[in-house]
Amino acid sequence: HRFFQAEFIKSSVRTEDCPSDGLPEFALVGRSNVGKSSLLNSIVRRNKLALTSKKPGKTQCINHFKVNDSWYLVDLPGFGYASAPRNFEQIGISLLKTIFSIAQPCWLGQNQVPMTLIFTKCDKRKKKNGGKRPEENVNDFQELIRDFFETAPPWIMTSGVTNQGRDEMLLHIAQLRNY
């Protein structure tokens, strides 16, 4: 099996302060509490690596983790809180707005930066989504985003608890690095 060396490099407040060694970077973008840190830990097979970024004052930073000395996982500051229960459509639309404002897919597209949709906490079946299986939610979501993209971005189902999707994410990252 793969050997992983993963280390926390630094927390940066400004993009100018981020590592500039030119290694490929894979950033996790999403609301606070969606499970970005757990996913990061799952990917690198380390239980507490991303805790570094949970230290007070570090959550609003851009956190760089170097993997195998050859690429970075980047934990971007989370935004907002999933508070009041919403139905799936509302979640989907607010998520799309978020993707547009934060990740700016037009900019990503123009600059040929690949984007992948990562579904987190797939071990859970949420009552507020009518108890649907995660796969069913993905279908709903694909419908929802159809109008927003020329070609639908790839998606991966994950869980930081069962480590579902870990190998798929690593394979995906490896493929992107070889482009």
Residue 173, classified by CB atoms within 10 Å of its CB into exposed (0-12), middle (13-18) or buried (19+), is: middle
Rounded Cα–Cα distance for residues 21 and 48 (Å): 25
Nearest distance in Å: CB 13, ligand GDP: 18
Which residues lie near ligand GDP (CB under 6 A)?
30, 32-38, 78, 120-121, 123-124, 159-161
- 63 versus 67: smaller Cβ distance to ligand GDP: 63
Residues 6+ apart with CB under 8 A from 117: 141, 153, 154, 155, 156
Nearest distance in Å: CB 59, ligand GDP: 8
- 152 versus 161: smaller Cβ distance to ligand GDP: 161
CB count in 10 Å sphere of residue 118 = 21
Across the strands, what pairs with 67? 6, 71
Nearest distance in Å: CB 112, ligand GDP: 27
Closest-by-Cβ residue to ligand GDP is 35
- 30 versus 137: smaller Cβ distance to ligand GDP: 30
Mark residue 167 as left, alpha or beta (left: phi above 0; alpha: psi -120 to 50; beta: remaining): alpha
- 120 versus 137: smaller Cβ distance to ligand GDP: 120
Nearest distance in Å: CB 49, ligand GDP: 11
Rounded Cα–Cα distance for residues 18 and 68 (Å): 18
- 38 versus 142: smaller Cβ distance to ligand GDP: 38
Nearest distance in Å: CB 158, ligand GDP: 7
